[in-house]
Structure 1
C-alpha cells in the first residue's frame, strides 16, 4: 500500500466514524499519539531527550508520517471510545469494592463532608458579622427614642444594604454569597462522593426534577425518547463537552505516566512531566465546569418536556404542581418496576377503544 493510499484510507475511515467519535475520541487520542511520538522521536526512551533529533523527525513531515499518525490516533480512539462511561465513573469516584478502593473513597468522602461543614460555618459566621455591622450602622443613624418604639426589622436592614450606604458592606455580602454558593455545590452529607466531579453530578442527580416529584435517573431514558429534537441537541452538545474534558483528562494522566517512565533518570528533564500534569488538572476542572452545564441542560429538559412524558405514558395531566407531585409518586414507582395502580387517560382517537371495526348498517330492502 502506498503512502498516499494509506493517508486516503485513514482519512476516509475517520470521516465515516461520525461527529461524536471524531470530536470526543479523536482529539484526545491525537494528543496522546503525538506526545508519545515526540518522546520516541527525541530518544527519551534511551536517555535524555535530543531536541535536534526531535526537530529533524517532526520538521520534515511526509505523507507516510501523517498517515501513520492519523491511523494510530484512530486505533487509539477506537479503543478508548467504549471506555468512556468507565472513565466518567472513575473520575466521579466509583473506584470498586476492594479494600484499598474503599479506604481511599472513605478518606476523600470524609474530606468533602468536613469541607462542606466548614463552608457552612464560615458562611454563617460572615452572615452574623454582616448583621451586627448593619445593626450598628442603623443604631448610629437612628434616633434612640425611635429605636425603643420601633426595633430594627429585616426591611430596615435590606433598605440599608440596597442604598448607597450599603457600599461599605460589599466585601461581607460577597463573602457570604461566595461561601454559600460553594457549600451548595455539594449534595446532602449522606450522598457526598469522593471527588469534585462526582459531587457535582450527584448534587444535580438528587435535585433535578425534585420539585415535580420526578427522579432524574429513573426518567432520563424516557425523556430522551420524548423530548424535542432541539432540546436533545442542546443536551448532546453539553454531554459532548463533558465527555471530551474527561477523555482529555484521562489521556493526560497516561501522558504524564509515560513521561515519568521515560525521563525518571534524566534529572531536570523530568520537569517536562509538569506540563502534562498541569493539563490533567486543567482538563479535570474543565470537566467539572462542563458537568455544571450538562446538569443545567438536564434540568431544562425536564422542565420543558415533562408533560410530553405524561402524555406518552397516558397518565392524567396534573392540574397543579401539588397534584403533579402526588401523581408522580406512583409514576416513579411504576417506572422503577414496582407494581402499583396508576390511572390512565388515553387520547381520543375517533375509534372504539377495543380496536374492533364499527358495525355495518343494515341494507335497505
Structure 2
C-alpha cells in the first residue's frame, strides 16, 4: 500500500490545525496591537487614518518580517496549547478564587438538577417530562456526577464530565484508555474527533489571546481618552470565544463518547485480546485493563493471535503487571 496519500492527508490536517489554532488568533492579536501603535498609541490622541496610511505603505520586506514574527510566535506557543485549555478549565492557584468558582458552579449544578425533576404534586404532562429529560441530559453533559470533581469554570466541568463518563458504561477509564483508543480510530471517527478538538482549541486560543490583547491595549491606551474603550473589543472577542469554547467542548465530548461506542473493540484487536462474550465480561475485562494501565495492577490476559487471513489461531495466557 502506498503511504503517499496518508502523508498528504496528515500534512494537510496538521497545516489546517496550525492555521486555525496557532496562526490565525496570533495574527489577529498582533495586527490589532500594531494598528494601535501606528495610530499613535501610547499617546493622548489616536489617528486611525495614520494607521491605515502606515499599513498601505508597508513594503514587501516589512510584511514578510511581520508574517515571520507571527509564525514564530505561533510555533513557540504551540506546545502551550494544552496548558491554555487547562487554564480555562480552572487550573489556577487557590488564591485566584478557585473555591469561589467551585461554589458558583455547584449552584449552577443544583439549579440544573432541580430543573430535571418532575413535579410531585400533579401528574406530569408529556411536555414536562420532555423538559425534565432535556435538563437531565444537559446536567450529565455539563457537570460531573460527583461534587468533589467540580471545577471552577463551565469549560472545566464539561471536560471533566467527559473524562468521568466516556467509556464508563463499558468499564473503561477515559483518562487512561483514550491515548490508546485514539490511534485505532477509523478515518471517519478520527475526522470528527479532530475537527471538534480543533474547534475547541481555536476557541480556547482566541479566548486567551483576546484577553492578553485587551490588557495590552488598555496599557497602550491609558492616556488616549475615550479611545481607551477600544480595549473592550478584544475583551468582547475573548468572552464570545469562551462561550464558543464551552459549546465546542460539548461537541468534542459527544465525539469522544462516540469513539468509545464504535471503536472499543478495535482497541481489543490491536492489543491481540479476544472479544468479550457479553456486556458483563466486557466490563470486567476493561476494568482490569484500565487498572493495569493506571496503576500497574497485575492481570491475566488471554491473547488471541490471527493468521494472515484474519482467522483466530488460538489464545495464549499471559500475566502482566
Greater Cα offset, 218-227 or 264-273: 264-273
2:33 alignment partner, one of 31, 36, 47: 36
1:183 lines up with 2:174 in the alignment: no
1:73 lines up with 2:70 in the alignment: yes
Gaps of 5+ in 1: 1-14, 136-156, 162-169, 355-365
> What are the within-5 Å matches in structure 2 for residues 308-327 of structure 1?
308-327=266-285
- 1:196 aligned partner: 154
Partner deviation per Cα, 1:226-266 (whole Å, 9 max, x = no partner): 22233223221211111111111111011100111011233
Q: Retained in 1: the 8 A contact 2:208–2:238?
A: yes
CA distance in 1, matches of 2:180, 2:210: 35
Task: State the aligned residue count.
Answer: 298
Partner deviation per Cα, 1:138-157 (whole Å, 9 max, x = no partner): xxxxxxxxxxxxxxxxxxx6
Shift of 1:38: 0.4
1:128 lines up with 2:87 in the alignment: no
Richer in strand (by share): 2
CA distance in 2, matches of 1:88, 1:305: 26
Shift of 1:46: 2.6
Query: Which structure has the bigger radius of gyration?
Result: 1
CA distance in 2, matches of 1:352, 1:342: 16
1:123–1:345: structure 2 CA closer, same or farther, 3 Å change rule? closer
1:86 alignment partner, one of 74, 83, 87: 83
- 1:4 aligned partner: none
2:202 alignment partner, one of 244, 269, 272: 244
CA distance in 2, matches of 1:200, 1:214: 19
2:112 alignment partner, one of 119, 125, 128: 119
1:107 alignment partner, one of 92, 100, 103: 100
- 1:145 aligned partner: none
**3-state secondary structure, aligned to 1:344:** strand
- 1:361 aligned partner: none
CA distance in 2, matches of 1:348, 1:174: 48
2:239 alignment partner, one of 258, 267, 281: 281
CA distance in 2, matches of 1:324, 1:63: 62
Greater Cα offset, 110-119 or 82-91: 110-119
CA distance in 1, matches of 2:286, 2:134: 35
Shift of 1:300: 1.2
1:237–1:275: structure 2 CA closer, same or farther, 3 Å change rule? same
**3-state secondary structure, aligned to 2:300:** coil
RMSD in angstroms over aligned alpha carbons? Answer: 2.5
**TM-score (ref. length: structure 1):** 0.75
1:352–1:295: structure 2 CA closer, same or farther, 3 Å change rule? closer
1:258 alignment partner, one of 206, 216, 219: 216
**3-state secondary structure, aligned to 1:336:** helix
Q: Retained in 2: the 8 A contact 1:252–1:276?
A: yes
2:176 alignment partner, one of 212, 218, 224: 218
Greater Cα offset, 49-58 or 334-343: 334-343
Q: Retained in 2: the 8 A contact 1:252–1:277?
A: yes
CA distance in 1, matches of 2:36, 2:52: 12
